[in-house]
Structure 1
Amino acid sequence: MSAQKAVKSSHHEAESNMEQDIVRKAWVFKPSGLNFVWGGDSRYWVIPKEDRTPAELKMVSWLEVTGSFDKVEPGKTYRIGFKISFTGDATGWDKAPVFMSAKVGKKGKTIWKRIKSINTNFENLKGGTEQVTIPDETDGRFEIFVSPKEPITQDTKLQFGLYEVWTGKWKSGLLIYDAFVQEVKQRL
């Protein structure tokens, strides 16, 4: 009989930790409900156990924070965003091309949106105590439509993420409070 060691991943895998926020009319994912590449190693990320504490990026060159939501319905549109801030000693964000992505189902078409407000407002956001939502009004909303042609038996899980994987430069000081998925009411 050989003893096998449990292999600890260098990534943080999401627990099913989301709640419905009646005020924001959204489903909210606390940090423990998100996947963080390098989040299993405290040299890179500190993932809190308490819901009211943000995840803190210590330092990475590969930013990848993802989540999934299985309550989407065909024929509806969903808005996706993150609530963030930056520590006073945050670095590497002024020129880093940060993007969000989303797709419905494993075979769905991925849509991308560049989040320019991080680059243009980084100095103002740095060390601020106020949480901001990205994308902000200067970026425009990030929304995805679930085709009404998708049979309910198909994979309709919404997969979304926040990325900066292209520059290879080190980034630090990002605080992630939550991510949200919100149904967009159709205008008549």
Structure 2
Amino acid sequence: MTSSHRKGSTEGTNRVRDGGAVHVSPLELDITWGGDGRYWRIDQDRRIAELIQVCWLEVNGSVEMHHLQPNTRYKLEFKIRLKPDAFGWNDSPVYIMAMPGKGTKCIWASADLSKIRKGEQTCSIPSRLEFTTPSSSVADDKMSFGLFEIWKGRWKGGLVIEEVVISKV
């Protein structure tokens, strides 16, 4: 039986580049309703996730802590674009979450996607979510992160996720 939720690839595609930044492909993300083509289009070739329409936006991912330096300040960015026909973002802020390792608190920031110009230009979700990694972590520890809009119950669409970038501040 297939699931209407999409479990991201775990084949180690997290790549460390650009002076220690970690780039996460949308193909690695767990996407609620991402396994159903009525709601999301996952383009394996272009390595993007395109939101067709949902009323429950929930996207989760993780990065192994060994990719990040201990006791270092980082920022989390979702690189996105809004298609010209994007809809449903007015009065529906999205929330970005980071939890830098086991036993740490979740850090949240909100952003208003209705302020982003629609079109083919890639931008970062306009919210600087910054966090400091713990001074030590266990070998299998992960940094978890997510993008959410699950509270308003309004239909929204036209969001394209191009990548998630975790970089030093």
Same fold (TM over 0.5): yes
1:154 positional shift: 6.8
Secondary structure of the structure 2 residue equivalent to 1:32 = helix
1:30 positional shift: 1.4
CA distance in 2, matches of 1:64, 1:21: 27
Residue deviations 1:12-65 (CA, integer Å, cap 9, x gap) = 11113222332x752111110111111011110011112x34211011001011
Corresponding position: 1:114 with 2:99: no
CA distance in 2, matches of 1:160, 1:96: 20
Query: What TM-score results when the alignment is normalised by the length of structure 2?
Result: 0.88
> Which of 1 and 2 has greater Rg?
1
Residue 59 of structure 1 is matched in structure 2 by 53
Corresponding position: 1:145 with 2:132: yes
Residue 45 of structure 1 is matched in structure 2 by 40
Secondary structure of the structure 2 residue equivalent to 1:47 = strand
Residue 181 of structure 1 is matched in structure 2 by 166
Corresponding position: 1:81 with 2:77: yes
Q: Which amino acid aligns with 2:124?
A: T
Q: Which amino acid aligns with 1:83?
A: K
Query: What TM-score results when the alignment is normalised by the length of structure 1?
Result: 0.80
Percent of counterpart pairs with the same letter? Answer: 38
Show structure 2 runs of 5+ residues with no match: none
Secondary structure of the structure 2 residue equivalent to 1:74 = coil
Secondary structure of the structure 2 residue equivalent to 1:46 = strand
Counterpart contact for 1:104–1:155, Cα < 8 Å: no
CA distance in 1, matches of 2:57, 2:80: 14
Counterpart contact for 2:100–2:134, Cα < 8 Å: no
Aligned residues: 165
Q: 1:11 aligns with which of 5, 18, 37?
A: 5
CA distance in 2, matches of 1:100, 1:79: 11
1:163 positional shift: 0.7
1:155 positional shift: 5.8
Q: Which amino acid aligns with 1:131?
A: T
Corresponding position: 1:162 with 2:147: yes
Secondary structure of the structure 1 residue equivalent to 2:43 = coil
Counterpart contact for 1:98–1:162, Cα < 8 Å: yes
